[in-house]
Structure 1
């Protein structure tokens, strides 16, 4: 890693650790796991043993108490695994589903769910998106009605990462009025009677687990409420920052791998008597890709710096996610083009990664939502 104002020697050591794990433990199995639509669930315990699930969580719960820089490094380097699905599952465990539990949950909930999640003993999911409410989080219709000391949950969720393998779900439910003010978060054990989950087949991130969920008269203890009732919408919005930073960092990692694959192919592929990399047209197109990646990386690092220092970086994180995920499509196209017909073959990594970037403009907030956030936080009285 080049000298940076953001990274220390400790960061570089961590980067090397993650890189070796991704290249030696994950990448040899990427093609197989993509084909089989899954991986051995024992991998959660391996990630836990590496300390990846507790990076930002306090040491008293088994974490490292580190900052977002370590999360960024983790996401960038996990892309050297050559797949997106499995790493996304793992970051849902490390960040998406457990972050708000750590910040807002009761001590009892943390001991019962956060600690075993950090240890890799329980698998976590985050349940927000519904069939009729994706970007419109404030409109969700999964209800949790009070009945004595329980909530009775009815409704459905979709596109839920880890939903069909999770032991518990950090679940967004409606406990009150219409709109954001009526939303709460609860910890939902998937062993609860009335709960079902079904696998969803995807065109990308195939090694990961994505599910549709159904809740029919599911009774959950009211003590499983995360934070305060009616405050769930605010919790969700605050933690979207971390989720979007994760996806921007994943994307930067993918682009770097695509670039390296393209350069390696261009060095070895002979066209008109010379390696592709000796043709000026491709040297310049590669230079454009390098510029895109470096720009995206620095935008993401700027957002990370602000989030670390202030805890609020909605505008900058949205810019990072929008820029990285949209420009990654061009990077994927250019690197596929270098490969020619080989870029369309499944056994070539560039084919899979070019497909993977398509879904990153949707997860954790679509590009359209990112643009709206950027506008609202940049232009007043409009």
Structure 2
């Protein structure tokens, strides 16, 4: 009997994780359509304005994109960390890092403090509005002298009857101008050393003593507002404290894991988009009698970058999968943040180089993406800090 040799089918350029379920695939398809039809055609205007319009966030809320991980009782979809990585990657692929980070701070860096540490009454009060995009959130941890070193925090919260009085300054706060609700970390025990004695408070816009010191002018992420926040005897009800007093540091560290997966996924979405832009350019740009794609050095460099991005992307989804199973994946998450933050910058540099003079013009997407990528090795845990986290666990 004759036998027929099986024919191998070429795999897609970017394979998804084996743990993906139909709802993950559906979410990716919905996000990709939304970005292509409702974000990319209009987002350039937001770069000049310096913020994302609130109606865009409300639209995302109506489509179910702002409550992917949250409980259905408040309007969420109750999905997992893999879904979070999908959201971040697709927003990164938009080519507008400022838009992406505006959304991701709201969904995965600020509001998780309420979802994970809030009481049922606190969640019922704010979560429906957060998921609907009616209440925009920010998280205020970083200070002028305490960035990745959270233990160096100086902002204080002194108990005064049924309230706390907050005093201090927070710096580099994404959504700081836009936010209706800010989750503020402050030292509640002045005698405690290092990471001890920190608590987290939900502070609403308009609370007396809370003000935006100034909006900050940044190199990249231009459509994301970033601010200095000032607390001057800001009176916050004790009922607005999230979780137990003096236990806020652990909540911050817990959420850093999610934040770093998100930033890694966003970076790999950006890297994929940059490679796609570069491929389109080098296939049409002619120099010395041939297209740039016909130059071996260029196409091999792009081929290697695509391979490294594919590998880093799989590490992101592996860390997300481990997190979704409840494993301690601090090592993998720290590797994700260090690797992806550096790799996206390497991809940006190369793709801008391949664009030549066009890549240096503000009218080109690659120029914007180069500026946006730079912060990926700084924010959410600088590369050097992440490498120390990895090194501590190598033994």
TM-score by length of 1: 0.97
Report SS of the residue matched to 2:231.
strand
1:316 has 2:332 as partner: yes
Is the CA contact (8 Å cut-off) linking 1:326 and 1:361 kept in structure 2? yes
Report SS of the residue matched to 1:214.
strand
- Equivalence for 1:71: 84
Is the CA contact (8 Å cut-off) linking 1:261 and 1:350 kept in structure 2? yes
Q: CA offset at residue 311 of structure 1? A: 4.3
Q: CA offset at residue 307 of structure 1? A: 0.9
- Find the partner of 2:198 among 179, 183, 190: 183
Structure number, greater radius of gyration: 2
- Equivalence for 1:211: 227
TM-aligned CA distance change 1:347 to 1:201, over 3 Å: same
Could you tell me which runs of 5 or more consecutive residues in structure 2 were left unpaired when the two chains were aligned: 1-13
Residues 63-98 of structure 1, C-alpha deviations (whole Å, 9 max, x = no match): 000001111111111123221112211111111111
- Find the partner of 1:87 among 78, 84, 100: 100
1:98 has 2:104 as partner: no
1:162 has 2:178 as partner: no
Is the CA contact (8 Å cut-off) linking 2:94 and 2:270 kept in structure 1? no
Is the CA contact (8 Å cut-off) linking 1:22 and 1:79 kept in structure 2? no
Residues 250-293 of structure 1, C-alpha deviations (whole Å, 9 max, x = no match): 00000000000000001111122222112211111111111111
1:116 has 2:129 as partner: yes
- Find the partner of 2:264 among 219, 242, 248: 248
Greater than 4 Å deviation, 4+ residue runs: none
- Equivalence for 1:36: 49
Could you tell me which runs of 5 or more consecutive residues in structure 1 were left unpaired when the two chains were aligned: none
- Equivalence for 1:354: 370
- Equivalence for 1:282: 298
Distance 1:122 1:239 in 2: 20
Report SS of the residue matched to 1:28.
coil
Distance 1:261 1:307 in 2: 32
TM-score by length of 2: 0.93
- Find the partner of 1:23 among 27, 30, 36: 36
RMSD over aligned CA atoms reads 1.2
Distance 1:4 1:311 in 2: 17
Deviates more, 1:27-36 or 1:154-163: 27-36
Q: How many residues align?
A: 379
Trace 1:118-267 onto structure 2 (pairs within 5 A).
Answer: 118-176=131-189, 177-197=192-212, 198-267=214-283
Report SS of the residue matched to 2:171.
strand
